[in-house]
Amino acid sequence: MSTHTIATPRRRSTHRRGSGGIVAVVFLVLALAWTVVPLVWMVLGSFKGPGDVTASTPQWFFEPTWRNYENLFSGANNLATYLNHSVIAAVGAAVIATVLGTLGGYGLARTAFKGKKGLSFWFISTRMAPIAAVVLPLFLVFRFAGLIDTLPGLILAYLTFNLPFAIWIMSAFFEAIPPSLEESAEVAGCTRWQTFWYVALPLTKAGIVTTAVLCLVFAWNDYAFATVISGPNSQTLPIAATQLVTQTGVDWGQLTAIGTIVVLPMILVGLAVRRWLVTGLTLGAVTGE
Amino acid sequence: MSADQTAGQHGPHGGRAATESAGGGAGQVGPGSPGVGPTPVAPPAGQHDRRGSGRITFTGWMMAPGVALLGLLSLIPLVMLIMMSFSRVRLLGGLQLEFVGLENWARAFGDVELWKSWGLTLGYFAATLGLELMLGIAIAVVLNRLTRGRGLLLPLILLPMFVAPSIVGLLGRYLLDPTFGLYAQALQGLGVEQDVLGNPVSAFVAVTLMDVWEWTPLIALITLAGLSGVNPSVLEAASIDGADEWKKFWNIVLPSIKPILLVAILIRSMDAVRYFDIISVTTNGGPADATKIVPVRLYEAAFRFFDLGYAAVIGIMMLVLTIMIARLFVGLLSEKETH
């Protein structure tokens, strides 16, 4: 049993129609506006002064200022610390998941034994498990183990979804390469490790990078685990952002600035792997452009 | 196959499927674990591996670290969750689990509010998925016909997928603020004067649309991958036969992307019980419980009221649901494989 199916290797030929009609163009413009306007508004907001950001008539043109960013990194706001926490937790979880996932995924792809189906199912259902159902017992276990409000605790929490994801998806990427290459390497006298290291690994470079990026995005964007497990010593950016919302009022300039800091790096790394994104996000069920 | 065979053996509760899958995994920790020699592993392995038992040992070693760590990270919490559901959990003065039998379960199944939350979850799921499918497919179809500019437009369309859901929620609040929100003011221009997040119906619509904003691009991306597999010569033949665009879409394109759409639906349905960040930071279940989907209720029960045993029952319900979805997903994959 395996993961890799519904292959659609055929590239689109030159068969495309020029005019989709005025309706299609209007629809596309609207869809684009719907998608982009909130993000543009957020980035603009982060450069607005206190009067402009909550002006009762929306300000598209204003005097830009770095004030919000400066305030976040100085004085009572120690966003640098939270940024640090976010980077350590997300990168840590992504690296560990990708390394163990690459090894495990290769093992899973290149083996056949009776319990393989059950093992695969365990991986996929662990990946799909609702965070709320996982964080609840984890909270008690971590309290017992002294892992609440620590970065290692946060990394372990993120591994509960990143590790099964990485094993599963890497196994899909390895299964996509023909075993004949590795067989001939073995005939030529390579050990199994050499075959893996020099033949299989280079062929799945894109897959490994995609896996690492998605693991990074999943962990970096987490709110559900961090809101329970993190504390003053391990607070991450999304938590810092939500804590700016208080009963007494919200500094929307700072909040849009944090939002921009959280979103921008993920957009950059995410778009960098967009060719393999669809495979990663459908857990290997769809391969495409 | 083996998964099906073990299915019947395990526990009496909702955790059945969970223990089953976990059991399948636990059984395999052995072969790969350090310290277990090749001899005891060889018999079951040798029967199925084409290249002899030596390879099993190697692949077993490759899987060992990941499987061992995941075993710790998933089995301990799973056992804990099941234990919690039969206990009254005390946190003060050291962790204590006091066995109360089926009390939590009886309370959960008799709780009308919880069933309302399930209904709401279903409604939220149907509304978000329905809109995402319609919009996502439409965007993909239009993008697919584009001769130029697609390389520039697609990345822009994909942007929301990378935004942390909690930031989506906060951004939604900024846009919908009744005094200065960009969208709130646009709505006021259209005659909608109320506080969008303060009214039960409009709050539900708003959190639905925030989810739609974030995940429609995923559906578009998946559909686009499916559309590249549609045979253009069939479409051409249909045009020659006089089929209009709508007929071609309905009779040719849609059937051929159906398997891929099914994948999209399953992926989104498991995410529907995973992600609740948007609701958590916007309405937190309110107003008047209008957006209190099940995971929000679980968080409230667990971390506001510290009714951890009761929350564990909700957690197991959710887990069983996702395991059923995972089963459909795996079934779909292996079905495609045999074709």
Q: Where are the domains of chain B?
A: 2-85, 107-338
Residue with the two structure tokens 């395991």: B323
Helices (H), B103-244: 103-109, 112-145, 150-158, 165-176, 182-189, 200-227, 232-240
A132 vs B69, B161, B299: nearest CB: B299
Burial of A180 (0-12, 13-18, 19+ CB in 10 A): exposed
Domains of chain A, earliest start first: 37-48+65-175+207-281 (1.10.3720.10)
Is residue B7 pLDDT above 70, yes or no? no
Residues of B in contact with A227 (CB under 8 A): 280
For chain B, give the percent of residues with pLDDT over 70. Answer: 82
Query: What is the average per-residue pLDDT within B166-180?
Result: 93
Digit-coded pLDDT (tens) for B176-232: 998 889 999 899 888 887 889 999 999 999 999 999 999 999 999 999 988 988 888
Is residue B83 pLDDT above 80, yes or no? yes
- Cβ separation B165–A223 shorter than 8 A: yes
- A178 vs chain B: nearest CA distance in angstroms? 16
Digit-coded pLDDT (tens) for B123-163: 999 999 999 999 999 999 999 888 788 888 999 999 999 99
Q: State chain B's mean pLDDT as an integer.
A: 81
Which pLDDT score, from 0 to 100, does residue B338 have? Answer: 60
SS3 B292: coil
Q: Give the integer Cα–Cα distance in Å for A164 and B297.
A: 27
Q: Which of residues 95-154 of A touch B (CB under 8 A)?
A: 100-101, 103-104, 106-108, 110-115, 117-126, 128-134, 136-141, 143-144
Topology annotation, domain B107-338? MetI-like fold (1.10.3720)
Whether A233 contacts A222, CB under 8 Å: no
* Confidence band of B337 (pLDDT split at 50, 70, 90): low
Which range, A261-270, B273-282, B283-292, is most confident? A261-270
Is residue B295 pLDDT above 80, yes or no? yes
Digit-coded pLDDT (tens) for A222-275: 999 999 999 889 999 999 999 888 777 788 999 999 999 999 999 999 999 988
- Cβ separation A16–B146 shorter than 8 A: yes
User: A77: which residues sit within 8 A by CB, 6+ positions away?
Assistant: A71, A254
- A16 vs chain B: nearest CA distance in angstroms? 6
B228 vs A12, A156, A166: nearest CB: A12
This complex has an ipTM of 0.89
- Cβ separation B45–A245 shorter than 8 A: no
- Cβ separation B22–A122 shorter than 8 A: yes
Residue A249 pairs with which residues in a beta bridge?
A246
Which pLDDT score, from 0 to 100, does residue A288 have? Answer: 62
At A129, give phi and psi (nearest 5°): -55, 135
Residues of A in contact with B28 (CB under 8 A): 113, 115, 118-119
Whether B83 contacts B96, CB under 8 Å: no
- Chain A nearest-CA residue for B5: A118
- Chain B nearest-CA residue for A157: B73
Query: What is the average per-residue pLDDT within B257-282?
Result: 87
Angle at CA A285, nearest 5°, toward A280 and A287?
A: 70
User: B90: which residues sit within 8 A by CB, 6+ positions away?
Assistant: B96, B97, B98
Residue from A16, A22, A46, A111 to probe the interface with B (highest B Cβ count within 10 Å):
A111
Digit-coded pLDDT (tens) for A171-199: 999 998 988 888 899 899 999 899 999 99
- Cβ separation B267–A113 shorter than 8 A: no
Is residue A125 pLDDT above 60, yes or no? yes
Query: What is the average per-residue pLDDT within B26-47?
Result: 36
Digit-coded pLDDT (tens) for A69-97: 998 888 777 899 999 999 999 999 999 99
Query: What is the average per-residue pLDDT within A16-26?
Result: 68
